[in-house]
């Protein structure tokens, strides 16, 4: 093989020969590096190159399912639809107990919504009229109107009022009124009307002679009545010993509540004060009211609101059995 020096003019110096050698060496190195670079680029290009039939489709992101909280609907609060009858007046009806001799008639006040409340039962108040009057006396004095007002305002629970007739006062049948009330009228009312048939929810009251009946029957039958209302009660002085005697026989824990009122100009004020002394002497808890007025319908009508509030107060505090 010929030496490389034979390709150069003989005039080249050794230094020039050395330079040439270095240049050839560098060119060789550059050539080798270029080859390596091309090989590398070719490999990279091949690894990243897509085939002509492939289309780069971006990956579809599938969202991770998340829990969506949908609150359950809150059940509507059960609010009873107010009965329109609650704003209406109660009803006063005429009644009669069949097969009684003499015929026993009565008026009865049924509270608002009585006919619309088939399962409800009500306290009952019996109000007795005065001498020479009849069953409509308390009605004329305004009891149904005041009862409506107390019920509509929510100051009282709904209640029934019975007005028995005692127009036989001046006939032989008049003496048996007390027996008819206890043994006929009350059982008939409890059977035919939706009453709360216990003493705590049954009250008896009367004015004038009706108040006299209330004293006698109320103290003789404390198991029937939780409250006794005496309004200008006609109590005779000669009856005082009997009244005190039957009063003392009542066990203290079963004594009915007692309200007693009378006008300061009442013709029976003397006997009324005697009765109040008997109550006090026997430690019988009671309310005594001496109002301004006489023994008249004007006097009683002026106090109907107070009377009914007192009767119904016991029912507000006593739950139905």
CATH number of domain containing 181: 3.40.50.1820
pLDDT at 84: 78
* Of 105, 100, 161, 159, residue with least CA distance to 134: 105
Beta strands in the chain (DSSP E): 91-97, 104-110, 124-128, 160-164, 202-207, 227-231, 257-263, 287-291
pLDDT of 30 > 50? The answer is no
Range with top average pLDDT, 14-28, 41-55, 106-120, 158-172: 106-120
138 shares a domain with 26: no
In a domain, 2, yes or no: no
Residues in Cβ contact with 201 at an 8 Å cutoff, skipping those fewer than 6 apart: 122, 123, 124, 195, 226, 315, 318, 320, 321
Q: Are residues 153 and 216 in the same domain?
A: yes
Give the total number of structural domains in the chain.
Answer: 2
In this prediction, residue 226 has a pLDDT band, given cuts at 50, 70 and 90, of very high
pTM of the entire structure? Answer: 0.74
Residue 64 has pLDDT above 60, yes or no: no
- Asked if the model's pLDDT at residue 15 lies above 70, the reply is no
**Residue 61 falls inside a structural domain:** no
183 and 253 together in one domain: yes
Look-up of token digits 């009914």: 308
Residue 93 within any structural domain of the chain: yes
Q: Let me know: does 178 contact 206? Beta carbons within 8 Å.
A: no
- Which CA distances in Å does 90 have to 143, 146, 166? 11, 10, 24
Please tell me the predicted confidence (pLDDT) of residue 73: 55
CA distance 158 to 87: 12
122 plus 29 within the same structural domain: no
Provide the residue range defining the domain that includes 119: 89-317
Check pLDDT > 70 for residue 35: no
CA distance 147 to 308: 7
Q: What's the distance, CA 249 to chain centroid? A: 41
Residue 66 lies inside a defined structural domain of this protein: no
Same domain (yes/no): 180, 261: yes
Q: Do 93 and 226 have their domain in common?
A: yes
User: Which of 263, 254, 256, 265 lies closest to 233, judged by CA?
Assistant: 263
pLDDT band at 169 (very low <50, low <70, confident <90, very high): confident
For the CA atoms of 18, 24, 28, 31, the dihedral, rounded to the nearest 10 degrees, stands at: 140
Q: In angstroms, what CA-CA distances link 134 with 164, 169, 172?
A: 8, 10, 17
How far lies 158's CA from each of 16, 29, 151, in Å? 136, 119, 6
- b/e for 207-246, b at 16 or more Cβ within 10 A? bbbbbbbbbebbbebbebbbbbbbbbbbbeeebeeebbee
Beta bridge partners of 67: none
- In this structure, are 192 and 307 located in the same domain? yes
pLDDT at 41: 40
């Amino acid at each position: 093989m010929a030496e490389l020096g034979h390709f150069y003019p003989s005039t080249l110096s050794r230094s020039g020969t050395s330079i040439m050698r270095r240049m050839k060496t560098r060119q060789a190195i550059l050539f080798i590096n270029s080859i390596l670079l091309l090989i590398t680029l070719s490999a990279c290009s091949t690894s990243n190159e897509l085939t002509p039939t492939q289309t780069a489709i971006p990956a579809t992101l599938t969202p991770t399912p998340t829990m969506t909280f949908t609150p359950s609907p809150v059940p509507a609060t059960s609010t009873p639809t107010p009965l329109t009858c609650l704003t209406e007046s109660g009803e006063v009806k005429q009644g009669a107990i069949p097969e009684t001799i003499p015929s026993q008639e009565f008026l009865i006040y049924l509270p608002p919504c009585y006919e619309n409340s088939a399962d409800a039962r009500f306290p009952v108040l019996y109000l007795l009229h005065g001498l020479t009057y009849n069953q409509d006396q308390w009605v004329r004095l305004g009891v149904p109107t005041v009862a409506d007002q107390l019920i509509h305002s929510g100051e009282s629970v709904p209640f029934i009022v019975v007005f028995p007739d005692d127009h036989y006062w001046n006939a032989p049948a008049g003496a048996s009124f007390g027996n008819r009330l206890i043994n006929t009228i009350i059982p008939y009312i409890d059977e035919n009307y939706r009453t709360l048939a216990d003493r705590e929810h049954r009250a008896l009251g009367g004015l004038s002679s009706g108040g006299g009946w209330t004293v006698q029957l109320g103290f003789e039958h404390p198991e029937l009545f939780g409250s006794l209302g005496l309004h200008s009660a006609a109590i005779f002085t000669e009856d005082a010993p009997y009244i005190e005697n039957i009063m003392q026989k009542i066990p203290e824990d079963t004594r009915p509540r007692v309200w007693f009122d009378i006008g300061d100009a009442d013709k029976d004020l003397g006997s009324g004060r005697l009765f109040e002394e008997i109550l006090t002497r026997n430690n019988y808890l009671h309310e005594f009211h001496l109002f301004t007025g006489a023994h008249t319908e004007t006097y009683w009508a002026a106090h109907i609101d107070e009377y009914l509030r007192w009767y119904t107060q016991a029912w507000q505090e006593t739950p139905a059995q």
